[in-house]
Amino acid sequence: MRVVITGAAGFIGSRFAELFVENAERLGYDDIIILDALTYSGRRENLVDVLRDSRVQFVKGSILDATLTDELLSDAHAVVHFAAESHVDNSISGPRVFYETNVLGTQQLLESARGGGVERFVHVSTDEVYGSINEGSWREDHVLAPNSPYSSSKAGSDLAALAYHRTFGLGVMVTRCSNNYGPRQFPEKLIPLFVTNLSDSQKVPLYGDGLNVRDWLHVDDHCRGILLVLEKGRVGEIYNIGGGTELTNREIVDQLLELCASDESMVEHVPDRLGHDRRYSVDWTKIRTELGYHPQVPFDQGLKETVQWFHDNEAWWRPLKIQTP
C-alpha cells in the first residue's frame, strides 16, 4: 500500500516519517512517498536516515500542483498532511501565502485524494484554531475562534477537510496539537530561537509580560499520537493531542537560561505580538480513551535533551540563523 506524507522535510513531518518507516511493515505499507516543496523550513537534511530506506521516495513539489497531487494520490491508501506555512510572525507580515498554502493547498490535496480513492486522510492542525481560553481546556467540539492569519488559515483548512468527509465521504481525520518542541525545530520558534541565541551570547526576545501560557508537547509524543489516529482513528473525527505540561513563556525562559548557563541579563523584553493569544489548553481525553494515547516524554527530560541536541548540532542550525523566509 502507498502512503503520501506531505511536508515531511519539516520539523514534525520528518520525525513522523522516521516513526512511520519504523512501523510501515506492521501497518502494511511498502510504498512511502514524501512530498515537500522545500521552502525555507523544509530541509532534505532532515530526511537523511529515512531516504536510505528503499520503500521511500522523495518528491519535490507543491500541494498546489494539481497534476502532481493527482498522480501521487491516484494509487494511495493513505495521506498524512503536514505541509503548511506555520510561523505566526510570518503570517502577520505576509498573510497571503498562508491562505494559499494552508487553505487552497489543502483543498487541492483533498480533491486529489477524493479522485484517487484515498481511504484514510489525516489532516494535521493546531490548537491555535480555538483562539485563546482563560480557564479550562478546549474539547474537539469547541467553537473555532482563530486570532491570527496563521490560525485562521489552519481553521479554514480544517473546515475544508471535514467538509470533504461530510459531502464526499472522504476518510478524513483531523488532529489538533499543542505547542511542539524537540530536535530539528526551525530556529524561528521560541525554544530553538532562544537556545541558539544564548549559544551565541545574544539576548532572547520575550514578548510582553511573558505570561502567555502554552501546553508543551514533545514532537515524539505528537507523532505517536498521529500514528495512532492514522491506524485506529474514526473517520470524520477530530482528535486533540496534548502534552500535559502548561507553562508560561517566562517559565520556559527561566528553564532555558539555567540549561544554557545564562542569566536574566540575556532577556530582552519586546512589545507583545499583534493578536497574541493569552493561553492555549487542549482536552485530550478523547484520544486517550479511544486510542490509548499518553505522552511518554517528561517535559524536563525532553527540554534538557532538546537543548543538548542544539548544542551538539551547530552545523545543522548555524546556516539557518542567517536565512530569512
Is there a contact between 88 and 150 (Cβ–Cβ < 8 Å)?
Answer: yes
Any bridge partners for residue 177, and if so which? 126, 241
Please, what is the Cα angle at 126 between 125 and 130, to 5 degrees?
120
Please, what is the Cα angle at 45 between 314 and 177, to 5 degrees?
90
Q: Is 150 a catalytic residue?
A: yes
Relative orientation angle of helices 106-116 and 66-73, to the nearest 10 degrees: 40
Q: Is 89 a catalytic residue?
A: no
Q: Of 150, 164, 181, 280, which residue is the catalytic one? A: 150
Average of per-residue pLDDT across 307-313: 97
- Say which CATH superfamily domain 181-214+245-279+300-322 falls into: UDP-galactose 4-epimerase, domain 1 (3.90.25.10)
pLDDT tens for each residue of 127-167: 999 999 999 999 999 999 999 999 999 999 999 999 999 99
pLDDT computed for residue 236 by the predictor: 98
H/E stretch holding 159 reads helix 149-168
What 3-state class would DSSP assign to 203? coil
For the 2-180+217-241 domain, the top CATH level (class) is alpha beta
Q: Of 128, 140, 246, 277, which residue is the catalytic one? A: 128
Q: Is 65 a catalytic residue?
A: no
Above 60 in pLDDT, residue 324? no
d(CA 157, CA 25): 31
List Cα–Cα distances, 166 to 163, 170, 226, 236, 268, in angstroms. 5, 8, 21, 7, 48
pLDDT computed for residue 86 by the predictor: 83
What are the structural domain ranges in the chain? 2-180+217-241, 181-214+245-279+300-322
Q: Of 85, 111, 127, 220, which residue is the catalytic one? A: 127
Average of per-residue pLDDT across 261-279: 88
